[in-house]
Amino acid sequence: MKLVAVVVACLAVVAAVAVAAPQFGRLRDPRFIAIVRDNRQDRGDGNYKFEYEGDNGIYVDGSGKQGVSGGSNMAGYYRFPLPEGGVAEVRYTADENGFRVQSPLVPTPHPLPDHAIEQIRNAEEQRRRGIIWD
């Protein structure tokens, strides 16, 4: 009888653990992401390179070298999955000329209307001729 009670108790514990455990494919704890690739190189002279990838689809690749003015020039690329599907991709460069990014995610301004372009041309022409408005 005690053996049956022990077996039932063990089965109850196993069932409770199975119900409480996250179900793969349905629930996933976003705090825990397996790193499937991790490559890093640092020569200690300002030149470095890194690359890593998570099992959630995030990929990062970057490198840096010492710039002309002593700062660090960096360039890289990263991608990540979008919640609605698809993948976002971003390329960047940071150096003496500032930070520049290339991605379809970066918003671009609307084109100026023709009348605004004409006003800008008129102002440039007036400035060239020395006309100054108070």
Residue-wise pLDDT for 34-50, tens only, equals 899 999 999 888 889 99
Q: How far apart are CA 34 and CA 98, in angstroms?
A: 34
Residue 90 burial by Cβ neighbours in a 10 Å radius (0-12, 13-18, 19+)? middle
Identify whether 55 is part of a domain: yes
Domain count, the chain: 1
Domain assignment present for residue 73? The answer is yes
Please report whether residue 98 resides in a domain: yes
45 in any annotated domain: yes
Whether the per-residue pLDDT at 122 is higher than 50: the answer is yes
pLDDT tier at 51, thresholds 50, 70, 90: very high
With respect to residue 29, please indicate whether it lies within any of the assigned structural domains: no
Tell me the per-residue pLDDT of 93-117, one tens digit each, with 9 for 90 and over: 999 889 999 998 888 888 899 999 9
pTM of the model: 0.57
Residue 14 lies in a domain: no
Residue 127 is predicted with a pLDDT of 92
Asked if residue 63 is part of any domain, the answer here is: yes
Answer whether residue 67 is part of any domain: yes
Residue range of the domain that includes 56: 35-128
C-beta separation of 50 from 60 below 8 A: yes
pLDDT score, position 12:
45
